[in-house]
Structure 1
Amino acid sequence: MENSRQTPHSGYHWNGSDQRFFEGWYYRVTLPQWGQTFGFMYSIDDPIGNQPHSGGAAQILGANNQYLCRTFPNIRNFWANRNKLELGHWGKTQLSLKPQLLDPVIFEQQIKQGYQATDTLNQGYICDKRNNFYCRWQYKINPIDGWGNRDLPQKATAGWLSYLPIFDPGWQVLMAQGTATGYIDWNGEKYEFIDAPAYSEKNWGRSFPQKWFWINCNSFIEEYDLALTAVGGIRDVFGLTESVGLIGLHYQGKFYEFERGNSKLSWQVEPWGQWEMQGKNQDFIITIIGTTEESGNYVRVPTAEGLQFRCRDTMQGNITLELSQSQGNLIVKATSFLGGLEIGGAPWESVWIN
């Protein structure tokens, strides 16, 4: 990502402390021609080592909501750049050099299990030894929008307070909109693509929120240059908890942000199947509806007790969004059948209304 488009928090956050810590990265590529989406989740827990939860993992939510996971217990084979978006974890290899970013050709030849990812590359290979189910992937990324207006310096997703150790966890959308060109080999089913919609974000801290939902899409039927990220969650603040929400919409280079400092946010989210969210401020109104009849799948997320299945996802959600000026003039209305819909944490025994 060009320096002008690199978001805050793109670098690795661990400061060498032996206190509980995780950092996780999420890359996604959507393939409308196949009606599929692939989400790649990379994480490192307690990188100082010799802790109960020390280690790394790569998870993939793939075609038809299928799931694949590989753990990497050796934290010494994990590496990340503190100044920009670069990271990787090596599994089997005969290389004797320190883990680092490799030429993609050398990586494919020398790293038998593992991944490497930057702002412009996502590459790796993992396999489930129990059934030999595998995924091999390599694609180049062209970043378009980070978090903010396209031609202005990019913003911290959680605002300037995210630079201070106040909120847990931290969260940053790294790339709201981009394109990906390359391939994904999903256990013998090879998807080759050019300029497919791509997305990335990250989290870091002690554990994921107590409870949250997530709505995300940058592959809409009516609009190419449109990307949505919306969340609600209960997070820690100085040991206390608070309920927060955020909606970010990138449309034709302009960024529309709805957060508690400038907007009124409301939502009604079912334990599964229905997500509704609205944001209002003095200039704009946005309404989002997400639905799914898919059962989705569970993925692991960092908790105080290490990686746990506390997150339910589908990448084939139906999303409708409508953005208007406050006086009623419609700016954009769009739909998708390839949206990301998620709930996490506990309990989800009833509708969450805020």
Structure 2
Amino acid sequence: EIEFNGSNYDFVGGRGYIEKDWGRNFPENWIWAQSNHFSNNDLSITASLATIPWKNTSFAGFIVGLYYKSNFYRFTTYRSAVTKEIHYDFNKFYWQIKQKDLTLELTIEKGHKAGLLYAPDKIDMVPKVHEYLDGNIYLKLYDHKGTILEDQTTSAAVEIIGDVSKLINMAGGLKSGLK
């Protein structure tokens, strides 16, 4: 329960999202989206794709967590998931990921109103991340038997930051990053 401006807000039984960012810097380029607000109330997703520095090079790494009907599906670089198709058209990001016998299709769109968030820099926290809270996510999860889940939301947090064409190319997309 939170008291704010003389009003009490009760979150018992609700779901939320919280993260902790470790380190001193954000990746150079990234796409991130999160939502708990789908037509199916037992559904949440967090998806991120970013340029990950590694030794003297970098690669496109990703983590997607999908919670649905008490099951948690993880699609990650470190669990050998692969990007089958990926492209971006300056507002809409399409991504198809395969892990073992599961395939996840995501379409993520920026919203229209962004807030400016502080993020770690080399020395301090600085205002540098435009985050949309009115973004869209369409998702479809399926296996060889058929569709497990298909849903969409217009209440997603979305960040699309940096040289996205470079990121898409690193992740296996078209050379221009566009389709």
TM-score (norm 1): 0.43
Distance 1:349 1:252, change over 3 A: closer
Query: 2:86 matched to 1:276?
Result: no
> d(CA) in 2 for partners of 1:239 and 1:206?
18
Give yes or no for the alignment of 1:238 onto 2:55: yes
Q: CA separation of 1:196/1:347 partners in 2, compared to 1, >3 Å: closer, same or farther?
A: same
C-alpha separation in 2, matches of 1:301 and 1:239: 24
| 1:113-153 Cα shifts (integer Å, max 9, x gaps) | xxxxxxxxxxxxxxxxxxxxxxxxxx3xxxxxxxxxxxxxx
2:37 aligned to 219, 225, 229, which one? 219
Alpha carbons 2:30, 2:167 under 8 Å: kept: no
Deviations 1:219-278 (A, max 9, x none): 212x1111111111012223532221122211111121112333212432454x322222
1:312 aligned to 2:130? yes
Deviation >4 Å, runs of 4+: 188-191, 348-351
Instruction: Look up the match of 1:300.
Output: 118
Change (3 A) 1:200 1:281: same
Q: Structure 2 regions of 5+ residues with no counterpart?
A: 172-179
Aligned residues: 167
The separation in 1 between residues aligned to 2:135 and 2:42, in whole angstroms, is: 19
Match of 1:204 among 22, 37, 46: 22
Higher RCO, Cα 8 Å, sep 6+? 2
Counterpart residue type for residue 199 of structure 1: Y
TM-score for both structures, normalised by structure 2: 0.79
Q: Contact conserved, 1:247 with 1:279, CA < 8 A, in 2?
A: no
C-alpha separation in 1, matches of 2:22 and 2:110: 29
Letter of the 2:24 counterpart: R
Which residue type is aligned with residue 86 of structure 2? W
Is residue 192 of structure 1 aligned with residue 30 of structure 2? no
Structure 2 CA distance for aligned equivalents of residues 198 and 214 of structure 1: 16
Structure 1: state its 5+ residue gaps: 1-138, 140-181
Residue 256 in structure 1 maps to residue 73 in structure 2 = yes
- Structure 1, residues 94-127: CA drift from partner, whole Å, max 9, x if none? xxxxxxxxxxxxxxxxxxxxxxxxxxxxxxxxxx
- Residues 293/191 of structure 1: CA separation in 2 closer, same or farther (3 Å cut): farther
User: For the residues of structure 1 that align with 2:152 and 2:130, how far apart are their CA atoms?
Assistant: 22
C-alpha distance in 2, partners of 1:237/1:200? 26
2:150 paired residue among 312, 324, 333: 333
Q: What does residue range 1-354 of structure 1 map to in structure 2 within 5 Å?
A: 139=1, 182=2, 185=4, 192-194=9-11, 195-221=13-39, 223-260=40-77, 261-265=79-83, 266-271=85-90, 273-325=91-143, 327-344=144-161, 346-347=162-163, 352-353=168-169, 354=171
Distance change (3 Å), C-alpha of 1:350 and 1:262: closer
* CA RMSD of superposed structures (Å): 2.6
